[in-house]
Amino acid sequence: DAGVIQSPRHEVTEMGQEVTLRCKPISGHNSLFWYRQTMMRGLELLIYFNNNVPIDDSGMPEDRFSAKMPNASFSTLKIQPSEPRDSAVYFCASSPMTGLGNTIYFGEGSWLTVV
Please report, as ranges, the residues that interact with other proteins according to CB under 8 A. Answer: 4, 31, 33, 42-43, 45, 48, 50, 55-56, 91, 93, 95, 97, 99-109, 111
Nearer to other proteins, 14 or 56 (CB): 56
* CA–CA distance, 42 with 3 (Å, rounded to integer): 23
Nearer to other proteins, 10 or 83 (CB): 10
Give the nearest distance from C-beta 38 to other proteins in angstroms: 11
Task: Give me the residues paired with residue 3 across strands.
Answer: none
Alpha carbon of residue 76 to chain centroid? 7
Give the nearest distance from C-beta 80 to other proteins in angstroms: 25
- Reference 77, options 8, 19, 5; nearest CA is 19
Give the nearest distance from C-beta 89 to other proteins in angstroms: 9
Alpha carbon of residue 1 to chain centroid? 21
